[in-house]
Structure formats: structure tokens, C-alpha cells
Structure 1
Amino acid sequence: MGDASVISEIPLIPDGEQAREWAVRELADPVYQAAQPTWFDRAAQAGRDALASLFSPDVAPEWAAVLALVAAILAIAVIVIAILVWGLPCRTSSRSHRSGELFGDIDYRTAEGLRAAADAARRRGDWDTAIVLRFRAAARGLDERELVDLAPGTTSRQFAVRADALLVPGSAEVRRAALVFDDIRYLQRPGTEAGYGLVAAADSALARVVPAASAEPAGVSAP
């Protein structure tokens, strides 16, 4: 009986004052605050409402121009705010999604990164690695400058033919470097200091190429 009497004293339905207190406590929960729309959400909704109102049959003709102007101002304001918050969109190009493939291998390093790695290999006497990386640096450098387009599957010989065309007429400097690269990469012949010097000279010559302003990138496609 004692337990029953205690339970009967607990109010199952709160009075008005207590109900308001419970509601205030509940709405103070951070979860509800996070769910509230932000100022940006409200501004965007206002812009959408103003734009939708232009097509309402209840709008008088004399107010249509005013609402159109307000909608345009709101749209411009939203764009300006978006630029201030997130910045200008980055300009993309056809080269922005490179596969990273360089003569059968995937390597996402820049030309400068490849040259630095090649120089480190040169200093420790690893001529095989130094030659391979320096030749790839030459190819990546022209691709970055959009002088030669390295399509997936491009061979070293195809690249060399296009690259030599950028040098003095009749030059075969890059084709000779490609032979050194192929000897190491595919024929497993040991690299030499002289071979590295030949490849490095070709890379340096290509780095000095100044293209004509109207020149289109030379396309290189797989056979």
C-alpha cells in the first residue's frame, strides 16, 4: 500500500507552469540549436522565395520589376558571400586529371621533384635510377608546360620524336637520351655517368625551350 500511495502522488500530467519549464529545458538542448537554420540558409531561402514569387499570378505587374530587381540583388549577394567564404573556384584545365603514367609506370611527382630525385641518385652513384628519373623529368616538364601531351601508353620513342621537334631542326638529342633510357628500363643494361650526362643535357635543353605564343601542344598518342 505504501508504494501505491507514493506512486499516486506523482503527477502524471504536469500543470501549465511545469510544462513550460520542461519545454524550455528541452529546447535548450544543443541538438536543437544545431538543427536551427543558419543565416546563410535563411538568406538562400529568402532568395528562392523572392524568385518564386515572380511567377505568382497574384503579383501585380508594377511589382514584378521590383521583385525581379530584389531577386537579382539577393542572387549577387549570395554569390559574393560564397566567394568570400569559400574563395574563387580554381581554374581547371584538360591536364588537371593526369593519370600519372610515365612510360609504363605511375609517378605523380612534378618535373622538379623528379629532377631532385634523379640528382640524389646521381650523388650516390645509382646511375640506373638517375637516368630513368631524369628522362621522366624531361617528359613531365614538357607535359606541365603543355608543349607535349603525354597520352596514356606513350612510349619513350614517341615522346622523343615530338620533343626533338621543339629543338633546333635536325636535332636527335632527345632520341639519343631515349635510347639510353630504353637500354636501362627494358634491356636491363647498366647505366653510366656518361649516359646520365646525355639525358641531363637533353632535359636541360628542353627546359630552355620557349614556345611560340600561338603554338598548340604537340599530341603524343599510343600506337
Structure 2
Amino acid sequence: MDAPPLIPDEETARRWAEEELSNPIYDIAEPTLFDRVAQAVGEFIANLFSPQLPGEFGPIAAVVAAIVVVVLIAAAFAIWGAPRAIRRARRNPPALFGESDARSAAQLRRDAHAKATSAEWDEAIVLRFRAIARGCIERGVVNTPPGATVHTFARAAAPVFPASADALETAATAFDDVRYLRRRGTAELYRQIVATDDALAAARPAIADGALA
């Protein structure tokens, strides 16, 4: 039997090379699209600071490089930083009107409805107003710093939801009446707060942020 040639001719060498390079193991070494983009950006920035550039382009190159870096940092923050901040805010919701309460707006609404079903109007009113505030916080349209009162919240939310400004003040007064003045809540007051909450949930904010002073 003839042995394979030790020195292949040109056609055989080309065929052997194609067969070898067709092996899937070589695909792993291929750079990905991300690798190519990152390499191109790195080379671009490096070229801006290259000493081979003409002297008059040195300051311009530095400015362009600084702009590119700032844009890349801003893009990274927008893509990865903001969602993490939102998740942290959701995991650690701020206190509501002097009391720690980690419940979401949906949970507060369910608990308020349960109290209303049992005709416990005082608790139902308090919980539903808290749901209003929590809903605004979750939407990012009104901030409630520590120590904010219900009336402070109502005044801050008024320019965000101008059509419900009076209803917000009425709801805040009902909260104070049953929470601090020990006045009895009623089904009518509860229905008014529910209507206010529903109106705010369906409304489009008039401004981006009603930050409390």
C-alpha cells in the first residue's frame, strides 16, 4: 500500500488546510461582534492620543476622546445603572407619613378593600390613602421624603394631577380625621378616596416630578 506523500503538492496542501480549518473548534477563537466593536472603540481612542498625530490636532483629539468617554459612560449608566437604582428603590420603599410600610400600592388597595368589606372604615380610609401615595411613588411622579405629611403630599401631587387637586385635599383631610382626630370614618369617605385613587391611576401626570419641598 502506498504511503501518503510527506511533502504534498499545492492542490493537496490547499485541500488539507481547508479540511483542518473547517473543524468547529476554530469557531471558538473567532471574535464576537461585541469583541470587534470594543476593539474598534479602543483603537479609535488610542489613535486620538497617538503621538503621530500632527501637533495642531493634539488638543482637538483630547477633547474628542473626552467626549467619547463621557458618552460611553452615560450610555452604560442608562443601560445598567438606572434599572439597578429602580430595583433598589422598590426593594426599600420609603416610609409613608412617619410609618414604615413596605407594601406596594396594589397590596395596600387589597388590604383596604378587605377592611371596607368588614366595615372597618377608619383602617380602610388610611390604607387607601397610603395606596394613593405609594402609587405615585411607584410611578415616579411624586416624592415623599421622611416626615412628609398627608397634606404636604396632597399639595405636591396637585400640580401633577390638577384635575384631582381638590379631591386630594379632601382625601388628606379624611386621613387626618380618622388617623389623628379620632373621628369615625364612613363608607362615603372611603368611596371618595377610592374614586380619587382610581382617577390618579388612570390620569397622565401633567409634569414629570412633583418633588416635595
In which range does the TM-score fall when normalised by the shorter chain? 0.5 to 0.7
d(CA) in 2 for partners of 1:169, 1:187: 28
Query: Are 2:165 and 1:171 equivalent residues in the alignment?
Result: yes
Look up the equivalent residue of 1:120 and give its one-letter code: A
CA contact (8 A) 1:164 1:173 kept: no
Look up the equivalent residue of 1:91 and give its one-letter code: P
Look up the equivalent residue of 1:202 and give its one-letter code: T
Indicate the residue corresponding to 2:113 in structure 1: 119
Indicate the residue corresponding to 1:206 in structure 2: 200
Give the SS at the match of 2:182.
coil
CA contact (8 A) 2:160 2:208 kept: no
CA contact (8 A) 1:104 1:153 kept: yes
Give the SS at the match of 1:100.
coil
Give the SS at the match of 2:143.
strand
d(CA) in 1 for partners of 2:137, 2:164: 22
* Residue segments in structure 1 that go unaligned for 5+ positions in a row: 1-87
Structure with more of its chain in strand, by fraction? 1
Per-residue deviation at 1:156?
0.2
* Residue segments in structure 2 that go unaligned for 5+ positions in a row: 1-79
Give the SS at the match of 1:93.
helix
Look up the equivalent residue of 2:208 and give its one-letter code: E
Give the SS at the match of 1:118.
helix
Query: Are 2:148 and 1:154 equivalent residues in the alignment?
Result: yes
CA contact (8 A) 1:163 1:206 kept: no
Rg larger for: 1
Give the SS at the match of 2:136.
helix
Query: Are 2:120 and 1:143 equivalent residues in the alignment?
Result: no
Query: Are 2:209 and 1:217 equivalent residues in the alignment?
Result: yes
Query: Are 2:176 and 1:182 equivalent residues in the alignment?
Result: yes
Indicate the residue corresponding to 1:129 in structure 2: 123
d(CA) in 1 for partners of 2:139, 2:205: 9
CA contact (8 A) 1:137 1:203 kept: yes
d(CA) in 2 for partners of 1:112, 1:97: 15
Distance 1:89 1:217, change over 3 A: closer
How many residue pairs were aligned?
A: 132
Structure with more of its chain in helix, by fraction? 2
TM-score normalised by structure 2 residue count: 0.57
Per-residue deviation at 1:216?
3.0
Query: Are 2:190 and 1:196 equivalent residues in the alignment?
Result: yes
Per-residue deviation at 1:104?
1.5
Deviations along 1:20-64, one digit per CA (max 9) or x if unpaired, are: xxxxxxxxxxxxxxxxxxxxxxxxxxxxxxxxxxxxxxxxxxxxx
Distance 1:89 1:151, change over 3 A: closer
Deviations along 1:64-93, one digit per CA (max 9) or x if unpaired, are: xxxxxxxxxxxxxxxxxxxxxxxx999222
CA contact (8 A) 1:166 1:209 kept: no
CA contact (8 A) 1:141 1:207 kept: yes
Moved more, 97-106 or 111-120: 97-106
Distance 1:142 1:90, change over 3 A: closer
Per-residue deviation at 1:118?
0.2
Per-residue deviation at 1:97?
5.8
TM-score normalised by structure 1 residue count: 0.54
CA contact (8 A) 1:111 1:138 kept: yes
Distance 1:203 1:121, change over 3 A: same
Look up the equivalent residue of 2:83 and give its one-letter code: R
Indicate the residue corresponding to 2:42 in structure 1: none
Look up the equivalent residue of 2:112 and give its one-letter code: A
